[in-house]
Amino acid sequence: MSNSTISFTEELRNRSDDQVKVLFSLRPDLISPVPTDLMALSARANSTPSLLRARETLDKFRLDILSAISSLDEPAPLLQILSITSKEAVGAVESLWELALIYKDGDGYRVPSNVRTIMGESPAGLGPKSSRPVDFAALEQAPKGARETLMKMVWGPPKGQIADIKKAPPAIKWLLENNFLVPFDSQTVLLPREVAMHLREGKVFKELTPQQPALEGSTRKQKAVDLAAIASISTFVRWAEELGHNWSDEPPTSLRSGGLGVRDLKRTAEHLGISEACAAFVAELLYIGGHIVIDTDDQILPTHSFDVWLTKSIEEQWHSLVTLWLETSRVSGLIGKSDSKNIAALGPELDRGGVSTLKKVILGVLKDHLELDPTLDSMSETLQWLLPTRANRDYAEWILREAEWLGLTGQGALSTFGLALITNEELGIEKALPKPVDHILIQADNSAVAPGPLTLELANAIGTIADIESRGGASVYRFSETSIRRGLDHGQTGDQIKDFLKKISKTPMPQPLEYLINDVAKRHGKLRVGSTTSYIRCEDEGLIQEIMHDKRIDHLRLRKLAPQVLVSDVDSNELMRTLRDSGYLPAAENATGVLVTAPQVRRAKSRPKPPRIISEPTSPNETLIAAAVRALRAGERASSHKPREVPRTTANETVDLLHQYIEERASLTIGYADTNGGVSNRLIDPLSISLGTLVARDHATGEIAHFRIPRITGVSPAN
């Protein structure tokens, strides 16, 4: 074991280029930007934000080993680490060293100062070391209840509460007198680390899990998985198309706080025939992709990029959406789940860090267990081992649900298409899709069955006059008063709708459906809505009176201007929607009083503004890593050849370096700016930092001096 202590910076300096490359690949945040030299690298690697990111990459076994090392005196020999953990810890120790979460000092290992901070005051549930000797043989003569008291604290937390330490029960009083417990304050006692380790029989943990737990679930056939997945892919793309078209026809209005209101979400879900959670998820993906946007007038409308997206093949459409899902930090599962307030779809409160990593890890687990539909409990247990700092059961449930909606999985197991996506291979979706059909089968109950996926033109056409009731190998459409009205709003007449259905149906049109179309067409447009803010014009004065006395629409504040004219303060779109919800069938007219029958293709005036994504550092390529190492070595040589020049450091790096030098009690040179803007080098011994000021002994005067940290331009080792 070395007689002199080696610093973290010196240990990094002694690493080979290949070892530094490994460090950069494992901790990509250290490379952006490239550190000026090894001193700057050590400061960044020992900074709290970087250490927290590195800790999040650890599995449970490596995290437990790091906790165990943090509980030992430094430098801790490898044999001692193995003795308190397990022999399988050799690989974990090597991995922690590669990550620079521990560093070597002779035959032992040390922990960088800030690692102890992020691991907490009680690593592995162990309390502080005792300042007094402990005679463990005395436990044999301990009074009744003493050992039981210790065993309650032995696995942590190492704190115990009593009413008054001066009036402690006999058992606790004996433990205090014999140093098996130490007082913390008048009501708190601590279990010393040595006592806990003795009672744990020299092991830090009750049990360690070096291996990932086995994933349990139901076995599926890959062919069945892919059939379910391709159906989901086709269906999800259709949902996205329908939502965009529907919001073009009847755009919802965003909330004042931003996002989609509960009522509009419910209406959209009913139109698509899916759950509100699924509708919110579809809307979120279109929003993230810039295909829908909250416009300047607060209406939520499709953008022109939605039209471009519609021109692509199903495979391209799906790939663009699922790629967004993999990378986004927004969690649609949170919508409506908050205890304090309702989190809205498209709102600003859905960002959660680390979600993208969780998705990729879950897909990676499914990739390693093809044809397996895992149980949620088993997947949660696996995630708790793989990502103990990020695992969340609710998030896992939502991710698995969304993967099924998207067709990444089928019947719970990873599909061939999901596997191709994460391995960057050809998707093969177009080949797997069934051939589209160009006809439907109208039933006697005002429904129609499509015996396969409809052609794009036919699907868009029938989507304006019927609502999808169910999907699968054969889709079921339902004709209703509302759906027929929607077709009439798109400029079709009743006769045109009947002729279209007779042309595409292999079965005759039933009489009830013909009567329904005739009835709606006859009533459609009898009531007309325009803009004053808005007005209602109707030649049927009886209908005007009915509307005036309808309590369901009192909130419209309708006023009668003439026997056949009513006006309202709400805009025409809201007036139309409310009247339709109340059972009326109004039609729109333009400023000249002409009935608007042309189909409206409404698009947002503003440009797409996809929400920000909390990005996570990605592993840089080998070329970039090699260039960074060369730049780092060049900076190190420049620092050694120009001892009088102090390299400039950022404010954060300056503070981290100063803390490091204070801890190491080392001299350093700082660049210090005077009041006139001139910079001079000062050789100092740093002592402490307080209120933005560095307190240090200045070698030039031999006196204690105070240096304002904002005026320190750089920090480097003393020459």
3-class state of residue 488 by DSSP? helix
Q: How far is CA 147 from the centre of its chain?
A: 46
Among 467, 478, 469, 487, CA closest to 512: 478
What is the chain's length?
719
How far is the C-alpha of 569 from the C-alpha of 353, rounded, in Å? 44
The answer to whether the beta carbons of residues 309 and 614 sit under 8 Å apart is: no
Residue 26 has a pLDDT of 92
How far is the C-alpha of 579 from the C-alpha of 586, rounded, in Å? 7
pLDDT digits (tens, 9 = 90+) for 117-174: 888 888 888 888 888 888 888 888 888 888 888 888 888 788 888 888 888 888 888 8
CA atoms lying within 13 Å on the CB side of residue 392: 16
Among 127, 198, 182, CA closest to 157: 127
Whether the bond between 33 and the residue before it is cis, its omega within 30 degrees of 0, is yes
| pLDDT above 70 as % of the chain | 92
- As a CATH number, domain 8-125 is 1.10.10
pLDDT digits (tens, 9 = 90+) for 396-405: 999 999 999 9
Residue 607 scores a pLDDT above 80: no
Domain 8-125 and domain 645-717, same fold? Reply is no
Provide the sign of the torsion angle of the four alpha carbons 385, 387, 388, 393, taken in this order.
Answer: negative
The answer to whether the beta carbons of residues 204 and 67 sit under 8 Å apart is: yes
Residue 282 scores a pLDDT above 90: yes
- As a CATH number, domain 645-717 is 2.30.30.100
Which residues, in sequence order, are CB contacts of 467 under 8 Å at separation 6+?
Answer: 271, 273, 477, 478, 480, 482, 483
Range 584-607 average pLDDT: 70
Residue 277 has a pLDDT of 93
For residue 658, what pLDDT band results from cuts at 50, 70 and 90? confident
Identity of the highest mean pLDDT range in 1-15, 16-30, 155-169: 16-30
**What element of type H or E holds 234?**
helix 222-249
The residue extents of the domains of the chain are 8-125, 139-199, 219-432, 441-519, 526-588, 645-717
Residue 340 has a pLDDT of 45
Helical pair 222-249 and 456-463, crossing angle rounded to 10 deg: 50
Among 45, 41, 100, CA closest to 632: 41
For residue 362, what pLDDT band results from cuts at 50, 70 and 90? very high
pLDDT digits (tens, 9 = 90+) for 77-111: 999 999 999 999 999 999 999 999 999 998 899 99
Residue 45 has a pLDDT of 92
The answer to whether the beta carbons of residues 287 and 293 sit under 8 Å apart is: yes
Residue 421 scores a pLDDT above 90: yes
Residue 701 has a pLDDT of 62
Range 587-613 average pLDDT: 68
Average predicted confidence (pLDDT) for the chain: 86
Range 461-465 average pLDDT: 82
Q: How far is CA 588 from CA 159, 349, 579, in A?
A: 73, 37, 12
pLDDT digits (tens, 9 = 90+) for 220-274: 999 999 999 998 998 899 899 889 988 988 889 998 888 899 999 999 998 888 8
Residue 94 has a pLDDT of 96
Among 370, 469, 356, CA closest to 410: 370
Beta bridge pairs of residue 535: 530, 567
Read off the tokens for 238.
């259709």
Identity of the highest mean pLDDT range in 365-379, 547-561, 601-615, 624-638: 365-379
Lowest mean pLDDT among 284-293, 409-418, 629-638: 629-638
Strand order in the sheet with 534-538: 559-562, 565-568, 534-538, 527-530, 586-588
For residue 643, what pLDDT band results from cuts at 50, 70 and 90? very low
Residue 471 has a pLDDT of 64
For residue 531, what pLDDT band results from cuts at 50, 70 and 90? low
Strand order in the sheet with 76-77: 76-77, 108-110, 103-105
Determine how many CB atoms are found less than 10 A away from the CB of residue 570: 16
For residue 2, what pLDDT band results from cuts at 50, 70 and 90? very low
Read off the tokens for 357.
């990593």
3-class state of residue 595 by DSSP? strand
For residue 641, what pLDDT band results from cuts at 50, 70 and 90? very low
Among 216, 215, 207, 217, CA closest to 60: 207
Q: How far is CA 216 from the centre of its chain?
A: 25
Residue 659 scores a pLDDT above 80: yes
How far is the C-alpha of 94 from the C-alpha of 115, rounded, in Å? 16
Strand order in the sheet with 704-708: 704-708, 693-698, 679-690, 668-673, 712-717
Question: H-type helices in 491-604, by residue range?
Answer: 494-504, 511-523, 541-548, 572-581
pLDDT digits (tens, 9 = 90+) for 660-688: 888 888 888 888 887 766 677 778 888 88
